[in-house]
Amino acid sequence: MKRLEGKRAVIIGAAGEGNLGQVTARQFAREGAQVLVAGRHEAPLAALAQEIGGAHAVCDITDEGQLAGLATAAVEALGGVDIAVNATGWGLLTPFLDTTREELDRMASLQFVGPFQFFQSMLRVMADGGSIVQVSSATAKIMMEDHAAYMGTKAGIDHVIRCIANEFGARGIRANSVAPGFTASPMTERAARNPAVVGAFAKEYPLGRVGTLDDTAEAITWLCSDACFVTGEVLQVNGGVTLRRNPTNAEIVAAARAAREARDAG
C-alpha cells in the first residue's frame, strides 16, 4: 500500500519551478495522496496540479483572508484536510547591522506570522489524526553569517510547531519541522552552480555531501505517513551538518577564489 493512500494534502509554497513544494507535491501524489498546491502564481500551480491529478489555489501566505479562503478551497476540492505543509521561505542574506526594518517586517510576515496563520487555517478544517510539517533550516540551530533575520524567524516558528504538537496531540494531530541544510534548489541556484561553494559546505557534512530536495521531500513524506510516531520535533534532514558547522563567509570566498585561480592556471 502507498504510504499516503487516501490522504488529503495542502502544500503552500509550490509555485516556484522545481522548488521543494513542487518536489514534495509530486512525491505525495506518487504515494497516493490527493494534493492541493498553493502559492502566489497561478500558471505554474495549474500546470503542476494537472500533472499530478490534483487541485490548486492562489494564496499569499502573508494574507490572512487568502489563507481562510485556502482552507475553504481545500475542503471543497479535497473533501477535507489530513496534511498541511508549509514550504515557503525567503533566503535573505544581509549583515546584521544592515538589515532594515522593511526587511525585518517582510521576513516576520513571511516566515513567522504567515506560517502561524496558515497552520491556524489548516487546523480549523483538519481531520483528527492529521499531520502538519513546517520547512525549517539547519541554520535555526547552527550559525551562518549574515542570516540573522532568516534564522530567527525559522527558529521562532519551530517553537510554534511544538506548541501545536502539545495542544492538538489529543486529536491525534502531529506537528513537526524538517531542517535541511545547504540544498541545491531555486533558492540557492547561484551558489549551487559553483562547485567550489558547494564543496565548502560539503566538507562540513559528516555524510560527505550536501542535501537534495528529494532528501527533504522523503522526510516530509515519512512525517505525514501513519507509520510516523513523532511530534513536536525538528527533524534534521541535513547529513549531520548540525554536528559541525556551516563554512564562514571568508571560507566560502577563499574556496571560490582558489577554484578560479586553479582554472586560470590550467
> Catalytic residue numbers?
150
Q: How many other β-carbons are positioned within 10 Å of the β-carbon of residue 72? A: 12
Instruction: Give me the residues paired with residue 132 across strands.
Output: 84, 175
DSSP secondary structure string for all residues of 126-151 = EEEEEEEEEE--GGGTS--TT-HHHH
- Reduced to 3 states (helix: H, G, I; strand: E, B; else coil), residue 196 is helix
Q: DSSP alpha helices (H): ranges in the chain? A: 20-30, 42-52, 64-78, 101-108, 114-123, 148-168, 189-192, 195-202, 213-223, 249-265
The DSSP letter of residue 175 is: E
Question: Rounded to 5 degrees, what angle do the CA atoms 120, 123, 129 make?
Answer: 155
Q: How far is CA 132 from CA 41, 94, 99, 254, 262, in A?
A: 23, 30, 31, 40, 47
CB of 251 closer than 8 Å to CB of 198: no
List all residues 6 or more positions away from 206 whose beta carbon is below 8 Å from its beta carbon.
Answer: 239, 240, 241, 243, 244
